[in-house]
Structure 1
């Protein structure tokens, strides 16, 4: 179960986070983009093709030269959290449980986003993307989401490509999209879904448990597929363990390569790591990536 008390700890933790960043996502911050907005920026000389409605005629009256007015576009950021709710996410013991660990990461993003006067959206990804927030973008809304997530049991094998593609069609302004998933899908499907989102700033947090990253099982073992409930008894060790490790590492690298080719940030998350250290890495890494993109 997700204890909402972690939000209070996150508030204290956020003080140090703010000292480490420029707060580039604050809702009251003005964009560097210039266009028609609310806040006057400066003048520049009129050139053929400029909108004549932007000509400052008062300046013309004084100088007999044509200048246009430029404005800084003021805009808020919307953070979209897409949390994998397929059966493979229902794995791990206690604090290492993938779905709960991933849910806390998403809730943390929503919480700090709300504190910065920005909006958030929260959806569960399965065969489709099911939006579970009500649009409140407040602490009360986050507590309601905690209750909803505590009542959710990940299930099914999902259709990640269709879910992400359909959700992308609902985003109508440039946003930050946090995708929390173990990415244990066909890599082509993952890439196709992310490609649809890639016109936004996208961060993929690939959550895997310590047991998945380095199984300690040795000898005769029974493996269960959480999506089909099928089981298989095998001898796990030696060459079998090596093949498992090689296949998993290759899959992780394939996901990372596809993300890089799409301009999507990708972070591998070990759910055995300290939650707040992981959160800080994702939150600050996302900010650095956005600042780099501006340049």
Structure 2
């Protein structure tokens, strides 16, 4: 697999700001729900002894003859955690619709615009555990280094969604956005448990599910040997019209189940077909 960095140069047109709240310590462009010193007016409250008299709104006093203090929302930076699935099932699809390459380019685009808005990102891959692969620079040089590392990724084994995501949730120290990129080929209950662990840790969660066109429609007829890339199990079946329809119905039901479980937890779910034009797919993720 070879990801070329050229697509990053085109991402400048996606300038929509992330409308997410955070309680991170470093000041930046995002607004925090915690009231304190900042640049954005929030509300008034009555003066109490010990308050800074410089905050008194004297124009309001002239109208009401009562002392009111101006309150402001603190402006804080947002930390965006990007987690890309490296299980064996992600190694699927042709050059234009490869699942891991598509997911990785979406994650890199997210990192690029996050850094452009003066926010921090954490870039990770996961399978049985989550491994952070960035160095904390959150700049273009970092992105180019990430592309080199991701091009050398080994896709193997199964993703342990519950244990790996739950362990990572313990590492999140401020209100953040966590974006998980995966094909979600696991039991919905396991995926739900992992997302729930992230949501419990005061994180906004966005699950980006990548589906290759060949998964929607395998394009085979007759006696076919199917192989599971994660377990090496094989199954021979006669894949005809009725079985193909049953397969598509079960895939759609799995997608709906995962989506419903994520949204019930307060997260967001986006389905991306990997054969789509990159910027259309990216817009559906970034503007979610």
TM-score (norm 2): 0.87
| Higher helix fraction (1 or 2) | 1
Report if the CA contact (8 A) 1:127-1:159 is conserved: yes
Q: C-alpha deviations, 1:30-69, integer Å up to 9, x for none?
A: 627352234474773427xx7x543527859996854334
User: What is the CA distance between 1:260 and its match in structure 2?
Assistant: 1.6
Q: Which residue of 1 aligns with 2:239?
A: 236
Structure 1 alignment gaps of length 5 or more: 286-295
User: What is the CA distance between 1:261 and its match in structure 2?
Assistant: 0.7
Structure 2 alignment gaps of length 5 or more: 22-26
Partner residue of 2:53 out of 41, 53, 56: 56
Q: Whole-Å Cα distance in 1 between the matches of residues 286 and 55 of structure 2?
A: 46
Do the aligned partners of residues 42 and 256 (structure 1) sit closer, same or farther apart at CA in structure 2, a change above 3 Å counting? closer
Do the aligned partners of residues 24 and 256 (structure 1) sit closer, same or farther apart at CA in structure 2, a change above 3 Å counting? closer
Q: Which residue of 1 aligns with 2:71?
A: 70
Cα RMSD for the two superposed structures: 2.6
Q: Which residue of 2 aligns with 1:271?
A: 274
Q: Which residue of 2 aligns with 1:152?
A: 153
Q: Whole-Å Cα distance in 2 between the matches of residues 43 and 220 of structure 1?
A: 69
Q: Whole-Å Cα distance in 2 between the matches of residues 98 and 255 of structure 1?
A: 18
Q: Whole-Å Cα distance in 2 between the matches of residues 168 and 193 of structure 1?
A: 9
Q: Which residue of 1 aligns with 2:182?
A: 181
User: What is the CA distance between 1:158 and its match in structure 2?
Assistant: 2.2
Q: Which residue of 1 aligns with 2:29?
A: 29
TM-score (norm 1): 0.85
Report if the CA contact (8 A) 1:54-1:69 is conserved: no
State the SS of the aligned residue for 1:269. strand
Do the aligned partners of residues 67 and 142 (structure 1) sit closer, same or farther apart at CA in structure 2, a change above 3 Å counting? same
Do the aligned partners of residues 260 and 58 (structure 1) sit closer, same or farther apart at CA in structure 2, a change above 3 Å counting? closer
Report if the CA contact (8 A) 2:206-2:268 is conserved: yes
Q: Does 1:95 align with 2:96?
A: yes
Q: Whole-Å Cα distance in 2 between the matches of residues 46 and 207 of structure 1?
A: 52
Q: Which moved more, 1:21-30 or 1:224-233?
A: 21-30
User: What is the CA distance between 1:181 and its match in structure 2?
Assistant: 0.5
Q: Whole-Å Cα distance in 2 between the matches of residues 32 and 202 of structure 1?
A: 17
